[in-house]
Chains A and B, each alone.
Chain A
Amino acid sequence: MTKKNASYGIIRDLDFKVPGVRAGYGVIYIVCVVALLVGVLPMLWVVFSGFKTIKEFVVSTNVLPATLDMDKYVGTWTHLKFGRYYLNSFASVAGSLGCAIFFNGLLGYAFSKIKPAGWKIIYGLVMAALLIPATTSIVPLFLNITRLHMNGTFLPLWLSMGANAFYVVLFKNFFDSLPNSLIEAAKLDGCSDFSIFHRIAVPLSRAIVVVIAIYAVIAAWSDFLLPYLVLNQSGHETVMVRLFQFRNGKTSDIDILRAIVFVIIPPTLLFLIFQKQITQVSVQSGIKG
């Protein structure tokens, strides 16, 4: 589809001769701007409210804070020892990222290019996992992890990202688009399956790896249920687990509000940098899946 065609909507240039249509277009535009503001303003409000003092936050009816004093954020950061939770989250994210790419990539590649006899059975089971939500099996999973004494470590969080049906399907679709002739040629040259994967598939799949990496980082950073069950009270709590603990603690509202800002910043930065890749994949995957 050419770019010019893509910009065509229902309302065409000719329609704009009618004054009613022009007014209608104005209304449409205003609605879109309002939608944009509704999307963005709650987060801006949190950031600005974080600059308020606790007294301001609890009683003042002003929308904006009296001063923009960074020390308040710094104070909360040190008071809540947020650096520690950031480090825990980084550790969890880094391992999850590696597992997400390695294990799902390998499986997606096997489904797409090697297809050993019987692969369809495994593929069917993976697709079933895509449709049956993981949350319903969280209790037995938690019991299994506990029985293996993996509580309090990042290991189950890392490995759990290696069994993600959605990423497997994305990888498979990508490898399906690589020409088979490349693989055949390498086979004739005597390459083994593993060295074909390692020397040909991996270097060619940078685009999909970047996309899955972004997805995995945001997912691992945002994940709550499993990290809570595995890491709660272990000293290795991630930022999400810490946020949940505020529910029962004595932390002041304003400190919680600033903690929310700390938690939102990393994925937002990632999104703003990679917004093109993120929005495109969500479109592709949504229609195919």
Chain B
Amino acid sequence: MNTASLAQSKNKASMGTSFRKNLPGWLLMLPSIVLFLFFVWEPLLESVRLSLYQSEGMRLVQFVGLQNYVDVFHDPDFPPAMRNTVYYTLWSLVIGFCVPMILAVLINETRGGRSLFKIGIYLPNIVPGMAMVLMWGFIFKPGNAGILNVLLSYIGIGPQPWLTNPAWTIPLIVIILTWQGAGATALLYIAGLQGIDPELYDAAIMDGAGIWKRVRYITLPNLFNLARTLLILQIISVFQILYQPLVMTNGGPNNASISIMQLVWKYAFEKYDYPKAGAVSVLISLILVVLTVAYFKLSKEKDL
């Protein structure tokens, strides 16, 4: 036997053992992989294919290229949905981004009752989305008997229209989102604050730094990376807002609060036009992928 064939047979043997070595691992992973395929990966690709076809009910009948995208762009609901989604995101940056950070810094200063504060602000986070949306619908009830208007009447302010005022709808919905999410985010910031080395503050005090200077030069710089991560995660999640406009306002008044995800809902489950729903889904995914890549680029520059 020459050396070449010896090496070959050796190679074969090692491939055999490597196969036998790896098989149990793959068998353990297989059931979960099948689930991921069915529930996550395949639907993602399928929505691209779906968006290129014309359908009759659930049957795809004809390849139409990008026609569905063209139709979606010409849908009178598309510009407001896109615009509102940007507004939701901007408002959530104005209202939702700062609140948890400030809350965290303040709670971290308290001496006593801190765990109670943490529980209290986290509690809204476990209220199921659908229940929360209905609950705030009642709280924002217009008219004299709405709870907020009752409270306002105590300080001499007349009843307000709340969600039925188109100019207020989006900011109010963002306030509700913030009510639900701020506590969980604040806990992340508190963990970040606890990670700051106390000696940094001691050194700053030695140098005569007042409280504001400590916040400016120690606290905020140390929270910067975490804040950047949470900012992008927040944008990604607000971009998909659906329940709030769907249930509280049904996108109204007069399309003032319709969101891009709600457009998917409308196409798919009100008009049963699945390919167009797929097209809007693909557009949303593309935007989110761009944001995600930007996020990774940013967070790679300085690791957490």
| Residues A40 and B120 in contact, CB atoms below 8 Å apart | yes
Binds B, one of A65-73, A76-84, A127-135, A202-210: A127-135
Once the chains bind, are A243 and B134 in contact (CB under 8 Å)? Answer: yes
With a cutoff of 8 Å between Cβ atoms, the chain A residues found around residue B21 in the complex are 116
Encode contact with A along B114-138: 1 for CB under 8 Å, 0 otherwise.
Answer: 0011111111101111110011101
A194 engages B117 (CB within 8 Å)? no
The contact of B25 among A40, A116, A270, by CB within 8 Å, is A116
CB-based contact A244/B247 at 8 Å? yes
CB-based contact B121/A107 at 8 Å: no
User: Bound complex: CA of A62 vs CA of B150, how far in Å?
Assistant: 8
Interface string of A127-158 (1 = CB under 8 A from B): 00101111111111111101100000000000
Contacts of A260 in B (CB 8 A): 131, 134-135
Asked if A119 and B25 sit within 8 Å, CB to CB, the answer is: yes
Quick check: A140 and B187 within 8 Å, CB to CB? no
Known: A63-B147, A139-B277. A268 touches B126 (CB 8 A): yes
Give chain A residues whose Cβ lies under 8 Å from the Cβ of B274: 139, 143
In the complex, whether B153 has a CB less than 8 A from a CB of chain A is yes
Contact A107 B58 (CB under 8 A): no
Beta-carbon contact of B188 and A141 below 8 Å: no
Task: Determine how close the nearest CB of chain B comes to the CB of A133; give it in whole angstroms.
Answer: 6
Contact of A143 (CB < 8 Å), options: B58, B105, B191, B193: B58
Tell me, rounded to whole Å, the shortest Cβ–Cβ distance linking B149 to chain A: 8
Is B29 a contact partner of A110 (Cβ separation < 8 A)? Answer: yes
Contact pattern, B 233-244, Cβ under 8 Å of A = 1, otherwise 0: 000110010110
From known contacts A116-B26, A134-B40, A160-B39, infer whether A29 and B110 are also in contact, taking CB-CB under 8 Å: yes
Residues in A with CB closer than 8 Å to B304 are 287
Total A residues in contact with B, Cβ cutoff 8 Å: 107
CB atoms of B28 and A221 under 8 A apart: no
Cα of A275 to Cα of B118 in the assembled complex, Å = 10
Q: Using A144-B42, A282-B187 as known contacts, list a sample of 13 further A-B pairs with CB atoms less than 8 Å apart, ordered by residue number in A.
A: A32-B113, A43-B135, A136-B282, A136-B284, A138-B264, A138-B268, A140-B46, A140-B47, A142-B268, A163-B32, A257-B138, A267-B127, A268-B127
A–B complex contacts, Cβ < 8 Å, 20 sampled: A9-B109, A10-B218, A12-B201, A15-B211, A39-B179, A46-B135, A49-B147, A61-B145, A61-B150, A63-B147, A63-B150, A116-B23, A118-B22, A133-B240, A144-B38, A197-B28, A222-B129, A257-B138, A264-B128, A268-B127
